[in-house]
Amino acid sequence: MVDVILGMQWGDEGKGKIVDYFAKNYDVIARFQGGPNAGHTLYVDGKKIVLHQIPSGIFHESKTNLIGNGVVLDAVTLKRECGNVAAMGVDYKKNLYISERTHLILPTHRAIDKASEISKGNEKIGSTLKGIGPAYMDKTGRNGLRVGNLLDKSFTTEYIKLRLKHQKLLDSFNFQEDISAWEEEFFDAIEFLREFKIVNGEYFINEKIQKGQRVLAEGAQGSMLDVDFGTFPFVTSSNTISAGVCTGLGVAPQKIREVFGVSKAYCTRVGSGPFPTELNDETGELIRKTGNEFGSTTGRPRRCGWIDLVALQFACMINGVTQIIMTKADILDNLSELNVCNGYKINGEEKNFVPFQMNKVAIEPVYKTFHGWMKDISSITDFDGLPKEMKTYIEYLNSYLGVPVKYISNGPGRDQLVLA
């Protein structure tokens, strides 16, 4: 049996805390896609830590954590991340496994990413410049190197061959930067990576399932950044939706049971791309400051806006979401009035669907206004204790989406989660 936790918006929904909270109910926590552009923020014993590639179940000593084949892995980032985890008293080598089919991010991938983004000028996608897109391009182009290749003596030779291919592309961009320091760091991290438990991920996880163990698949980024169904071309390079669990871990569709969709009580986006409910005013700035809306990976300020139910309903549909977890509801505590987007006005007509290419049409959000609750909810532990205005807000979301909000996060702490 596999349950899935994934983001419903443009990422940064607070999935890390949610996975950490639910991990105690599972035997295996597995990452199934994405790369080190994911930043899952956790607060463990009052200490903040950001995980980029390690599954968020790592702080539960008895749990197995797997980096699946759908991930593209940056060995340098992983080494640094493992150091941070070890500093908090966790023996990561005991319960962290890596699928041998997982593709590696190379120094030249980072260089190509940077060169490509610079060449776009004002048409930038908003890449985090981590080399993720080029790594996935090599994967689909059948050129990539995988973690399993580390066990082969010819790994360095194969790297050199691929580097020569990459250099031709870099020359076409007129990229002059010296990446020798990146390569030195990379090969040092590769030796570190060889010490890990490298497994045949698909057999590994299916054997766990056959033994009756419970698996929690952890998504990175958000559904609206899915390479197929997101706001293309302003998307990530992998399938962030629940279907990606099957290809990113090697499990059959019928093994998936619950799909937990994580959504903020409002909406944010990092980088370029369409964002119909964006607030470029004092309210948007207030939400950004109150919610500390700055990228956990890049530090970039996030664009903030009202919750978008058109996009959220779309995400629920394509993911088969069975229940919603609303995060950062406490950030709206001091707003006397809240807006909810329940339609798009396109060419004078009101629509309730996500258009083919959102950045090619002018969208005017249609809002329904609610009274704010104007109360600190951070210490509330049960649904009955929530303000009636907040309950009204949630009830409307339930009605519109057709999927229930089952949990409400009212603070960053591990246990600040109210069951509806």
Domain ranges in the chain are 22-97+206-260, 103-193, 265-419
* Mean pLDDT of all residues in 89-99: 93
Reported confidence tier of residue 97, pLDDT bands at 50, 70, 90: very high
Q: Tens digits of per-residue pLDDT, 329-342?
A: 999 999 999 999 99
pTM: 0.93
> Looking at residue 116, what is its pLDDT?
85
Which residues, including other chains, have CB under 8 Å from residue 225's CB and lie 6 or more apart? 10, 11, 231, 234, 235, 236, 240
- 91 labelled catalytic: no
Q: Which fold, 22-97+206-260?
A: Adenylosuccinate Synthetase; Chain A, domain 1 (3.40.440)
In the set 3, 40, 138, 308, the catalytic residue is 40
Burial of 362-377, coded b for 16+ CB within 10 Å and e otherwise, reads ebebbeeebebbeeeb
How much of the chain exceeds pLDDT 90, in percent?
82
- Spell out the long-range contacts of 208-214 with Cβ–Cβ below 8 A and sequence spacing 24 or more: 208/27, 208/28, 208/64, 209/1, 209/2, 209/251, 209/255, 213/27, 213/28, 214/1, 214/3, 214/25, 214/26, 214/27, 214/28
SS3 7: strand
**pLDDT of 231 above 70:** yes
**pLDDT of 20 above 90:** no
**pLDDT of 96 above 70:** yes
- 12 labelled catalytic: yes
* Mean pLDDT of all residues in 181-185: 96
> Looking at residue 396, what is its pLDDT?
98
Q: How many Cα atoms sit within 13 Å of 360 on the Cβ side?
A: 7
Burial of 296-322, coded b for 16+ CB within 10 Å and e otherwise, reads bbbeeebbbbbbbbbbbbbbbbebbbb
**pLDDT of 119 above 90:** no
* Mean pLDDT of all residues in 199-205: 98
Q: Determine which of 65-79, 114-128, 146-160 has the lowest per-residue pLDDT on average.
A: 114-128
Residue type, 319: N
Q: Which fold, 265-419?
A: Adenylosuccinate Synthetase; Chain A, domain 3 (3.90.170)
Q: Note the CATH number of domain 103-193.
A: 1.10.300.10
Q: Determine which of 62-66, 291-295, 350-354, 360-364 has the lowest per-residue pLDDT on average.
A: 291-295
